[in-house]
Copies of this chain bind each other. A is one copy, B any other.
Amino acid sequence: MNLELSQTEENYLKAIFSLSLSRSKSVSTNAIAEKLDTKASSVTDMVKKLSEKKLIDYKKYQGVSLTEEGKKRAVKIIRKHRLWEVFLVKHLDFNWDEVHEVAEQLEHVKSIKLTNELDRFLEFPTHDPHGDPIPDADGNIDHHIDVMLASLHKNETCVVLGVKDSSPSFLKYLDGHEIKLGSEIIVLEKEEFDNSMQIQIADRKISISQQITKNLFVKKLGK
């Protein structure tokens, strides 16, 4: 039994981890297939392999969940992914919509020293460029207080903490409207009809659709 995982195996663990956060409980074969853009039959094969390695619990037709060891491995990969994203934005002049693809590769580099030294070099960042929390060296990870902008009411004020969708197209949309992490938003109007919002951000008033408001993590501001 090989302790070193292939990049593919690591990607499966990460996918299962992130799927169990939302849908909780056990994760279906199809959900994994969709997330990884592969076929259900391929997932079944891999799931058997990871199960033999005791990284996931799997019973035929019952879906899968990560074991403690599997969870540990997944968190380590996520830690690396997010640290590299911080590096790319802070030091290599990448925009937040360009980092994901590169971090997908960097996250598989195996060296504990590399990860921890990178963490130190970056001065132990707590969040990545998309507002996602970075696990510490022991695997502890803060979870999102998932308040979406969509849940706010007229006249409430908030600050943008993160994005749920971090696809380049969404991030470019936000860039285009100068919505960034830390931006303060006031909800001026909320349309009953399509749930779009009229908001004030800095000194601009704009209208954004529910597609947008459902993908922005925010913190409500007292008052």
Contacts and interface: CB of A to CB of B under 8 A. Distances in A.
Interface string A204-222: 0000000000000000000
A92 B102 CA distance: 20
Interface residues of A, number: 20
A114 B124 CA distance: 22
A106 B109 CA distance: 7
Q: Chain copies in the assembly?
A: 2
B110 A92 contact: no
B114 A92 contact: yes
A120 B98 CA distance: 18
Contacts of A109: 102, 105-106, 109
A160 interface: no
A128 B121 CA distance: 20
Interface string A106-130: 1011110110011011000000000
A143 interface: no
Contacts of A199: none
A101 interface: yes
A90 to B, nearest CB: 10
Nearest to A115: B92
Interface of A: 88, 91-94, 98, 101-102, 105-106, 108-111, 113-114, 117-118, 120-121
